[in-house]
Structure 1
């Protein structure tokens, strides 16, 4: 991990160290997910389970159902916005789009990653999820994602305002 990444997101090692516990909480709520609300930007089945609301990151009633994960977000990412589990079901494509135009960057922590053609294109490069690892990208810029496999892709996503390096 680069020193610059640790300066803007010092919480990354803590989340990567605890990814198994974060994933275990997802397994307890996975049957309670709802469709991602922006139906016009994807084909297939994209689901979510919000812990902190969009865009400002206020607690939802769901934080009680994933207390460990919610505690980590609330106590170690003071500048967090929206956060929750994102499930990109098999054979789902998210079209190129731009996210919320606030001050936030977005992290993805890989929790359940299928083998095969599954990735995110942002700023001209392709990122691939890895279980237990975080990548950060600028959701405000045009990006797209896809899961062209027969299995689900699960990630914890958190919007945050980066710390000044």
Structure 2
């Protein structure tokens, strides 16, 4: 559900590669996806002018008041995610269920437990995590919602997303306590997750992720629509409807039975 662009030339190539037998290869991108990327720059410049909140790489979560979560609610969401870690081998790898992400998720280290995306829901996963599902139901403009689970030997190479029409929002649920690097770089600014504290960023800026602590990092990963003036909202709705009909979304939907 997160579009991955070819990384810039200066991007780091470090990271622990998955065993050859467990690597996933991204299929050739469709004409629609390639066309979308070719017009991305001018479209995103226009979206920036439509935005009602800052267009900086990292955005204060206070600009999205619907994300507010109290201590009791956060702990319930965290406990549901932590319970899944006992059976993490049964949680699908992100790259396995989403072929379009295989350049940045080519092995089993990065797993995803999807609740919904582009209007399609996994009722089975929602039933297993009712507190999380209830929280997602109250988020206006939700595009994607899932647990992002990264093992302690994960590196996500530098990449960019497709559109400024929505924002990436991380609610850290389990952050490793072991020494080692566990952080995200967004447009040259490093950030370490803190449990229970939202981190919001614009994925059209280049970003890269590391976890080499030997412990899993779990966040509730959301994409939500950017607050914009009505022309921007209408254009974002059009993009949303186009993307939800592509293989980019349908591959994930089929894999999850959503």
**1:140: how far off?**
2.4
* C-alpha distance after superposition, 1:27-74 (max 9, x if no partner): 333324210122321466101100112xx2432222122111111111
Whether 1:119 and 2:183 are equivalent positions in the alignment is yes
Report the counterpart of residue 36 of structure 1 in structure 2: 94
CA contact (8 A) 2:166 2:225 kept: yes
**TM-score normalised by length of structure 1:** 0.85
After superposition, where does 1:87-106 map in structure 2 within 5 Å?
A: 87-101=149-163, 103-106=165-168
Whichever structure has more strand as a proportion of its residues is 1
Change (3 A) 1:10 1:63: same
**Aligned-residue RMSD, C-alpha:** 2.1
* Residue of structure 1 aligned with 2:170, choices 75, 87, 108: 108
TM-score scaled by length of structure 2 = 0.56
Q: Return the offset for 1:26.
A: 1.2
Once residues 139 and 16 of structure 1 are traced to their aligned partners in structure 2, the CA distance between those partners, rounded to angstroms, is 27
Q: Report the Cα offset of residue 17 of structure 1.
A: 5.5
Structure 1 runs of 4+ aligned residues shifted over 6 Å read: none
Tell me the equivalent position of 1:60: 122
Task: Give the gaps of 5 or more residues in structure 1.
Answer: none
Is the helix fraction higher in 1 or 2?
A: 2
Q: Structure 2: state its 5+ residue gaps.
A: 1-59, 96-100, 230-258
SS at match of 1:70: helix
Matches within 5 A, 1:1-165: 5-6=61-62, 8-14=63-69, 18-30=73-85, 31=87, 32-37=90-95, 38-42=101-105, 45-53=109-117, 56-61=118-123, 62-75=125-138, 77-101=139-163, 103-115=165-177, 116-163=180-227
Change (3 A) 1:118 1:16: farther
